[in-house]
Amino acid sequence: MKLAARLTALLVIALLAACQRSPISLPAPSDANAKVVVAFLTAYGRRDLDGMMRHLDEDAVFRGSGTPLSKPQIRAFFQATFRKHPNLRVEIGSVKVVQDTIQAAVKVETDVIWADTWIFEMRNHKIHAYSLASGRRQVTRVTSSG
């Protein structure tokens, strides 16, 4: 019985690995600002810090639940995140233009999974400010059985 369960588990793991979605599976949006947001998030998924920073305005800020982070603080945050989470994965869901913002559904997996809508304010096709719709991360713990 245990052997059959192990074989089934291995088959399921192999199937999931073979069917694993690419982190970025969106068609390219037609809006120029939405393209910038997708490029920023794609760079995030590739852990390309310089690529991410190219899409931020010089005065860019992240507005979270605390004090806003400036562009150098945003860089430092992502740099620390990439060091701490070498297996970070990013999935982009829908990206849409809502009034004067670009809203992107984003799921990030590190040692936890969190998903939220990121809201981007643009200036001259650069990200001027961004925030999370919830104001904070919605976290689901990743557990492994074994």
pTM across the whole model: 0.74
**Residue 89 in domain:** yes
**Residue 18 in domain:** no
Residue range(s) defining the domain that contains residue 77: 24-141
Q: 61 CB contacts (<8 Å, ≥6 apart)?
A: 68, 69, 70, 71, 74, 128, 129
Give the mean pLDDT of the chain. Answer: 81
More confident residue, 128 or 110: 128
Rounded distance between C-alpha atoms, residue 85 and residue 109, angstroms:
9
Calculate what percentage of the chain has a pLDDT beyond 70: 73
Rounded distance between C-alpha atoms, residue 38 and residue 77, angstroms:
20
Task: Look up the CATH number of the domain holding residue 67.
Answer: 3.10.450.50
More confident residue, 25 or 103: 103
Give residue-wise pLDDT tens across range 26-85: 545 678 999 999 999 999 999 999 999 999 999 999 998 889 999 999 999 999 999 999
Number of domains in the chain: 1
* pLDDT in the model for residue 111: 86
**Residue 125 in domain:** yes
* pLDDT in the model for residue 1: 53
**Residue 57 in domain:** yes
**Residue 46 in domain:** yes
**Residue 19 in domain:** no
